[in-house]
A = this chain, B = another copy of it.
């Protein structure tokens, strides 16, 4: 497999000196995966940065929420939540957007075939890896999507909180541009309550306050 238009391949001629022959395919797949996921840095979300200079991409969003695990863990609904698992879920949760793109949460049209598009993306992207790692990452993504475990519920709460904070603290610029109503935001944000009730109380009060301040409409 070649990696760019100029045909630079993963291994120079002396690869046999680096890993054992039986590890060669595995190592190649791992490096190719790491190079491939760089594309997540070009997937733009609706959210803007706090300084409003540009839209956020899904790679930096993933970093932001994985870091916030360390800061907000005490608000997880389940006090025994496995934070390492939450972090892994968050680092992986948006990889499917490399193929499927970021679907705006209030885009009802785009959301119709979102599941189909994202499953197809997962099939391709995770399977770039050796089978055992492909399975591990697929399970992390499935866990995130299913929202059944305490870890995935907390992960979902953090994933929804961060763009919400950006929206509120940029005075609802994106809400206004897309004519979003408070009931839509409340509904979208409600999973925060399943993962971190204190954070949901905070979000809920900011939504009410945002209506009062004119950041989003009633």
> Does A122 sit within 8 A of B, measured CB to CB?
no
For chain A, the count of residues having a C-beta within 8 Å of the partner chain is 66
> Does A156 sit within 8 A of B, measured CB to CB?
no
Interface contact A205-B42, CB-CB below 8 Å: no
Docked pose: A92 CA to B88 CA in angstroms: 15
A49-B41, A70-B91 known; A205+B18 contact, CB < 8 A? yes
Looking at A42, A59, A129, A162, the one whose CB has the most chain B CB atoms below 10 A away is A59
Interface contact A50-B66, CB-CB below 8 Å: no
Docked pose: A31 CA to B72 CA in angstroms: 9
Q: Among B37, B60, B202, which residue has its beta carbon within 8 angstroms of that of A41?
A: B60
Docked pose: A169 CA to B202 CA in angstroms: 45
State the Cβ distance, A144 to closest chain B Cβ, in Å: 14
- Stretch of A8-16, A100-108, A177-185 that contacts chain B: A8-16
Docked pose: A60 CA to B60 CA in angstroms: 4
Interface contact A91-B67, CB-CB below 8 Å: yes
> Does A131 sit within 8 A of B, measured CB to CB?
no
> Does A114 sit within 8 A of B, measured CB to CB?
no
State the Cβ distance, A161 to closest chain B Cβ, in Å: 9
State the Cβ distance, A62 to closest chain B Cβ, in Å: 5
Interface contact A66-B64, CB-CB below 8 Å: no
Q: Among B6, B39, B64, which residue has its beta carbon within 8 angstroms of that of A37?
A: B64
Interface contact A168-B8, CB-CB below 8 Å: yes
Q: Among B13, B18, B208, which residue has its beta carbon within 8 angstroms of that of A202?
A: B18
Q: Which residues of B contact A87 (CB under 8 A)?
A: 66, 84, 87-88, 91
Looking at A37, A39, A166, A171, the one whose CB has the most chain B CB atoms below 10 A away is A37
State the Cβ distance, A143 to closest chain B Cβ, in Å: 14
- Which 4 pairs of residues, A with B, have the shortest CB-CB distance? A12-B209, A63-B63, A84-B84, A59-B60
Q: List 6 A-B contacts (CB under 8 A).
A: A4-B170, A12-B205, A19-B201, A30-B72, A39-B50, A70-B136
